[in-house]
Chain A
Amino acid sequence: MLLSLGMLMVGVLAAYVKYTPAGRVPDSEMRSSTRQISAPQTSVNVLTPHYVEEELKFDKTAGKVEPGQDKAVYVVNSYLAHAGITPKDAKLVSCTIEGGVAKLNFSRAFRQTYGTEDEHTLIEGILVSLGQFPEIHSAQFLVEGKAIDSLGNIDLSDPQPVIRK
């Protein structure tokens, strides 16, 4: 009798376990700080890549970030437009910084692979573009919110250190 009551209780508890959704941690409990870059700074460097024989070089021009526009998104999208390697609708949608790591969230069209020297132009240019912002130490590449591991040959699964030039 006692045994069957015990069995019943186990059954009820098991059902409770199975059908109760796991609780979510409120965002306020997450320890890592997430913040959007606000853009008080209006003047930034915008890069244009070119090759001198085998060497990748960058020309710098001044770009203006409109109020309310994210400066990291602005410099990366300007770079993509100048490089002309990615499809036209491949854009950096957002950039959030967590502990110095810039999470670069690109649109779906960015997700493809490239030939080696184009991959070099693309990744180095993005990391040099972001290197002008002292609050960004490294960059994680994401497409539609999901981390990508590569654009060809280079392992991008971890955040990549920005290049200060």
Chain B
Amino acid sequence: MTRSVICLVPWMAMTATVWGQELRPATVSYTHLGQFGKEAVRQGDACLAPPFLLQSWGWQVKILRDGDADLEVEGKHLRVHTVPLSGRSFVPLQEAIDQLGGKGAWQGDVYTITGLAQNLVFEGQHLKLETTLSASATIFRLEKPSRLVMDFKGASLVKGLKFNLPGEFRFGQFQPDTFRIVIEKPGVERLQMPDWKPGRTFDLDLAKLYENITEESAIGDIPLHQDKPLMKDVTAKAIIGPPLISGEKDGNATLTFSVTGNLAGRPSATYVDPTTIDILIPGAAAAPSILPELKSTLVKTVQFTSDSRGSIRAIVSLSAPLAFELSQQVKQIVLRLERPAAGNGQLDGKVIVVDAGHGGADTGARSDDKTVQEKDLTLKIAKLIAKNLTQEGASVILSRSDDTFIPLKERSAIANRSRADIFVSVHINSNKLSNSRSGSITFYHAQQPVSTLLAECIEDELGKVTKLPAIGIWSDTRIYQSGFAVLRNSLMPAVLLELGFINNAKDLKRLQEAEFQSSVALAVVKGLKVFVGDGSKENKK
């Protein structure tokens, strides 16, 4: 009788005392799948969930006549009792989780379910992890010192459980639902990054980490724009072969140099300008003296020069601005070239998001006397850029057109929603500890070759007009390991401009001049035209 009345009450709104204990809506965060609305109910320390919620995680649920539930989870069959609430059968999650060997814990009204890291071993040069429920892995490298970080979302550590691992391994609970393993040992950059799908077993081949490896056989990606090549032995001398071009199609091509002998360090590459790439090869003795003709429409020439420190530079001259990735492979150096998807030669018709940094209560940097605010300068300049781009036929979306606060995540969301081709964020720098800092820096997100090219195209033009130093293009990870939110979250080529230092008297004066603001706006548009390969206005001049 009581039950038939309660069944009329929407179960979602239930906070009434039934069977003596408070019930209230609760959220379940399930392994790596994350949070699911307020579909569950908290009763004391128990979390009760309706069958459809379990099904949304991929569980098979069958309610039996006797009120028990038959569950099939990741290949395991289990049987739990159910709790009737407002005429429906709810599953007490802890009972199911206990049988699965997982863990459930409350944080406020969120019940977090994770699998347990039950087996973590290092054997046969493999690191193996087993979890009781599926987890998803993200893996990334950090430098200085060399570390490989593996995050397993949906897994947790049993307190006090010891795993026997060598000293270079560390592990721990990074977040309530994320188990982290860190390997700190020089050479982690040599490891092949695994492509792990969500699952219960993870296997990482560490053979390369423990090999007594010579530079000759080192394989690995090379960070873009490494400023100081790691010099090991300046007396090592390798011989570089003539460049070979391959796979040239649709604006893409690969340029390969053979290496005989040992290099003194890792090669690195930087832009000289958007159509010139400078490859530094440390500790190379000889470069080809006679160059075969390159059968390429993208690469015009490759010129070798030696410098006083025993290194060779290869200057690659391109017929159009191209993105690049440099890698060192067995006995060769490979430069992969790529034309940006937006590089169809026209600014006309492109969708470009111009983001004026900060706004509203978020002032950004302020001058020492607090009279000049970053948010005002960025809005002025962003509007000028937008005006000029519109005149070129581009569709411009301003993330803000007045003094309003826009959260960081919304800025990139605007660009992603509108499927923009390019994202440009405008900022002013500040360094209160160093009044000598002056000039522009254009930031790109780490390891994004096309954004790097975009940054180079714009910074190159800024340097011609600001009358301040063009410091250069920087990876956002130079400022912080995770980079900048607006660059990391944007799906299209994205850059963030720092046009000068507000704490520097000379920069501050210049930043406020109308001539500075309008020429910077023109330079950004010119840089964008170089990026897309639009030379129309150039020809008219």
B479-511 interface code vs A (CB 8 A; 1 in, 0 out): 111101110100000001010011100000000
Per the bound structure, the CA–CA distance linking A16 and B22 in Å amounts to 13
Per the bound structure, the CA–CA distance linking A145 and B400 in Å amounts to 29
Given that A100-B173, A155-B485 are known contacts, is A116 also in contact with B498, CB under 8 Å in the complex?
Answer: yes
B430, A115: Cβ atoms closer than 8 Å: yes
Given that A17-B15, A153-B479 are known contacts, is A113 also in contact with B433, CB under 8 Å in the complex?
Answer: no
The reply to whether the CB of B319 lies closer than 8 angstroms to some CB of chain A is no
Which residues between 101 and 117 of chain A lie within 8 Å of chain B, taking CB atoms? 101, 112-117
Which of A26-34, A68-76, A88-96 contacts its partner?
A26-34
Closest chain B CB from A61 CB (angstroms): 17
**Which residues of the other chain, B, contact A14 by a CB distance below 8 angstroms?**
9
**Which residues of the other chain, A, contact B288 by a CB distance below 8 angstroms?**
none
Closest chain A CB from B21 CB (angstroms): 9
Per the bound structure, the CA–CA distance linking A124 and B479 in Å amounts to 9
Per the bound structure, the CA–CA distance linking A124 and B374 in Å amounts to 22
Per the bound structure, the CA–CA distance linking A113 and B501 in Å amounts to 15
Closest chain A CB from B292 CB (angstroms): 40
**Which residues of the other chain, B, contact A66 by a CB distance below 8 angstroms?**
none
B15, A155: Cβ atoms closer than 8 Å: no
Which residues between 4 and 22 of chain A lie within 8 Å of chain B, taking CB atoms? 6, 9-10, 13-14, 16-17, 20, 22
The reply to whether the CB of B63 lies closer than 8 angstroms to some CB of chain A is no
**Which residues of the other chain, B, contact A137 by a CB distance below 8 angstroms?**
172, 174
Chain B: residues with Cβ within 8 Å of the partner, total of: 56
The answer, among A83, A85, A113, for a CB contact under 8 Å with B364, is A113
Per the bound structure, the CA–CA distance linking A161 and B173 in Å amounts to 12
**Which residues of the other chain, A, contact B24 by a CB distance below 8 angstroms?**
22-23
A115, B429: Cβ atoms closer than 8 Å: yes
Closest chain B CB from A5 CB (angstroms): 10
B106, A25: Cβ atoms closer than 8 Å: yes
A54, A83, A85, A149, most chain B CB atoms within 10 A: A54
A115, B174: Cβ atoms closer than 8 Å: no
**Which residues of the other chain, B, contact A10 by a CB distance below 8 angstroms?**
5, 8-9
B480, A154: Cβ atoms closer than 8 Å: yes
Per the bound structure, the CA–CA distance linking A118 and B431 in Å amounts to 5
Task: Output the nearest chain A residue to B156 by Cβ-Cβ distance.
Answer: A99
Closest chain B CB from A163 CB (angstroms): 9
Chain A: residues with Cβ within 8 Å of the partner, total of: 49
Closest chain B CB from A109 CB (angstroms): 13
**Which residues of the other chain, B, contact A144 by a CB distance below 8 angstroms?**
none
The reply to whether the CB of A63 lies closer than 8 angstroms to some CB of chain B is no
**Which residues of the other chain, B, contact A154 by a CB distance below 8 angstroms?**
479-480, 482, 484-485
The reply to whether the CB of B369 lies closer than 8 angstroms to some CB of chain A is no
B407, A149: Cβ atoms closer than 8 Å: yes
**Which residues of the other chain, A, contact B502 by a CB distance below 8 angstroms?**
115
**Which residues of the other chain, B, contact A149 by a CB distance below 8 angstroms?**
407-409
Closest chain B CB from A155 CB (angstroms): 4
Closest chain B CB from A145 CB (angstroms): 14
B16, A13: Cβ atoms closer than 8 Å: yes
Per the bound structure, the CA–CA distance linking A25 and B44 in Å amounts to 8
**Which residues of the other chain, B, contact A115 by a CB distance below 8 angstroms?**
364-365, 374, 427-431, 501-503
Task: Output the nearest chain B residue to A82 by Cβ-Cβ distance.
Answer: B433
Per the bound structure, the CA–CA distance linking A160 and B430 in Å amounts to 23
Task: Output the nearest chain B residue to A114 by Cβ-Cβ distance.
Answer: B365
Which residues between 32 and 64 of chain A lie within 8 Å of chain B, taking CB atoms? 32, 49-51, 54
Task: Output the nearest chain B residue to A51 by Cβ-Cβ distance.
Answer: B434
A29, B482: Cβ atoms closer than 8 Å: no
**Which residues of the other chain, A, contact B484 by a CB distance below 8 angstroms?**
153-154
The reply to whether the CB of B539 lies closer than 8 angstroms to some CB of chain A is no
A113, B362: Cβ atoms closer than 8 Å: yes
**Which residues of the other chain, B, contact A123 by a CB distance below 8 angstroms?**
480
B485, A153: Cβ atoms closer than 8 Å: yes
A-B contact pairs, 21 of them (CB 8 A): A9-B5, A20-B16, A22-B15, A23-B15, A23-B22, A29-B106, A32-B176, A50-B433, A51-B431, A114-B364, A115-B427, A115-B431, A116-B365, A116-B498, A117-B437, A121-B432, A153-B484, A154-B480, A155-B408, A155-B409, A155-B485
The 6 closest A-B pairs by CB, nearest first: A115-B430, A115-B365, A23-B22, A117-B431, A155-B485, A51-B434
Extra pairs beyond A6-B8, A10-B8, A51-B437 (16, CB < 8 Å): A13-B6, A14-B9, A17-B15, A22-B15, A22-B22, A23-B24, A31-B107, A49-B433, A83-B433, A84-B432, A115-B365, A116-B429, A117-B501, A119-B479, A150-B485, A152-B358
